[in-house]
Structure 1
Amino acid sequence: MANDTETAATRWAGVPLAARRSERRAQLVEAAFELFGTQGEAGVSVRAVCRACNLNARYFYESFTDTDQLLGAVYDKVASELAERLLAALEAAGDDLAERIRAGIRTVLDFGSADPRRGRVLFTEARANPVLAARRQAAQTALMDAVLHQETRTRPAADPHLARVGAAMFTGAMVELAQQWLAGGLGDDLDAVVDHATALLLAPHAP
C-alpha cells in the first residue's frame, strides 16, 4: 500500500510548485467553508480540514499559520463573492433609486439564503470570532465605499455627504436585515421582505 509521500508525489506529479500550492490552498479553503458553514467554528480544526480534502497536515501550514487565518480566508472569499454580485445587481438596476435599493436588498438576502453556509459565515459566526469580527467590519466598510462609488458614478450631482450617509445606512441596515432573515425572524416570503425594506429605505426620499 502506498504511503502518504508516494501518494502525494503521484498526485502532484508534473504540476509546477506555485500551482500546487495554489490548488492546495483553494482545497483547504473550500473544505473549511463546508465545515464552518455547516458546523460552525467548532467544526474547523487542522485535522478535520485536512481530512476533508485528503491532504497531509504539513500542507495546511504551507498556506496558513492557524485555523483563524484559514477562517479569515474563507470569510474573505465569501464576502468577495457577495460584493461582486451586489455591485453587478446595482449596475444592472440602472439609475433609478428604488430599483437600485430593491436590487441590493434582494441580492444580499438571496445570496445568504440560497446557500445557508454563506449566511452563516458572513452574518452569524462572524459575530463571535474576534478575527472574523474585524474582517466583517472591514468588509462592511469596503462594501459601503463600493456602494458609494456606484452612487456617485450614477448620480454625480448628488450631495457627497448625503450619499455617504445613505451608503452607510444601506450597508448597516443590510447586515441586520440579513441576520434576521437568515434566522427566520422575518418569515419566509422574500418578496414581501424586499418590498417592506425598500419602502422603509425610500421613505426619507419621499416628497
Structure 2
Amino acid sequence: MSNTAERGWAGTTKAERQSARQARIRAAGYELITVGGTSAVTVRSVCRQAGLTDRYFYESFESRDALLAAMFLESADAVHHALTEVIEQHHGDPVRLVEALQGVFEEHILDDPAKGRLLLLDSLTEPALAGVSLAAVPAFTRLVQTQLPTDAPRAQRAMTAVGLMGALAALLSSWFAGTLRVSREELVQHCTKLLLGAPVRPM
C-alpha cells in the first residue's frame, strides 16, 4: 500500500498519529513532574493533561512506570549526546570546553526543571527509575574518564571518574532539593571546574 493510500484522517498516517499522541503523553509527563515530581505522574493525570483517553496511553506505554523509564532515558540520552558533542568539539581547549559545558548544564538541566528533577532528584527515590538510572551511570562515567590523563593507571582513572560522577550527582541533586543554597551561577561554575580540574597523576 502506498503512503498516500495509508493516509486517512487529516492527511496523516496511523503511525504519524500514534507518534503525535506519544509526544503529547511525554510532554504531559514532563509538565506534571515540573509541578509535583514523579509522584504526580499517573496514567489518569497524564491522560487528563494530554487530553487523551487511557486507550491511547496504553497504545504507546505498558504502564506509568514504562512512561517514566522512557522519559528518563530520553533525558539522559539528550544530556549525554550534548556532553559528547562539546567534548569532541573543544577537546584540548580548556577555556572553551568550560564555557560549552556550562551551556550544557544550563540548557539540559537547569533551564529544564522537569528533566533536571527527573535525572537528579526523583531518580533517587522513584522505584520505577531504579534500574534505568543505575544502567545510565557507566556511559557518563566513561565520558568523564576520557578527559583524564591517559598516562595514569587505568584503575586510578576509573576510580577518579566514578568519584567525579558521584560528586556531580550529589551537588546537582542537593541543589534541586533545595538543601544546597548557592546561586545557579556558583553551582554551574563549581561543577565544570570539578569536572575539568581533577588530573590523575601516575602513582
Q: Shared topology, TM-score over 0.5?
A: yes
Aligned to 2:160: 166
Identity rate, percent = 32
TM-score, length of structure 1 as denominator length: 0.76
C-alpha distance in structure 2 between counterparts of 1:159 and 1:40, whole Å? 41
Q: Cα distance 1:53–1:204, how it changes in 2: closer, same or farther (>3 A)?
A: same
Contact 1:106/1:194 (<8 A) preserved: no
- Is 2:27 the partner of 1:25? no
TM-score, length of structure 2 as denominator length: 0.77
Unpaired runs of 5+ in structure 1? 1-10
Aligned to 1:8: none
Deviation track 1:82-120 (CA, whole Å, cap 9, x = no partner) reads: 112222232233225686577546633663222222221
Contact 2:152/2:200 (<8 A) preserved: no
Alignment partner of 1:63: what SS?
A: coil
Q: Cα distance 1:35–1:193, how it changes in 2: closer, same or farther (>3 A)?
A: closer
Contact 1:112/1:178 (<8 A) preserved: no
Q: Cα distance 1:138–1:83, how it changes in 2: closer, same or farther (>3 A)?
A: same
C-alpha distance in structure 1 between counterparts of 2:93 and 2:152, whole Å? 13
Q: Map of 1:1-207 to 2, 5 A cutoff?
A: 12-96=9-93, 100=97, 104=101, 107-108=104-105, 111-148=108-145, 150-151=146-147, 159-184=153-178, 185-188=180-183, 190=185, 192-196=186-190, 198=193, 202=197, 205=200
Unpaired runs of 5+ in structure 2? 1-7
Deviation track 1:100-156 (CA, whole Å, cap 9, x = no partner) reads: 5775466336632222222211111111112212211111122113344x448xx66
Structure with the bigger percentage of helix? 1
Contact 1:109/1:178 (<8 A) preserved: no
Deviation track 1:56-83 (CA, whole Å, cap 9, x = no partner) reads: 2101010111101111111111111111
Q: Cα distance 1:195–1:51, how it changes in 2: closer, same or farther (>3 A)?
A: closer
Alignment size in residue pairs: 193
Q: Cα distance 1:160–1:60, how it changes in 2: closer, same or farther (>3 A)?
A: same
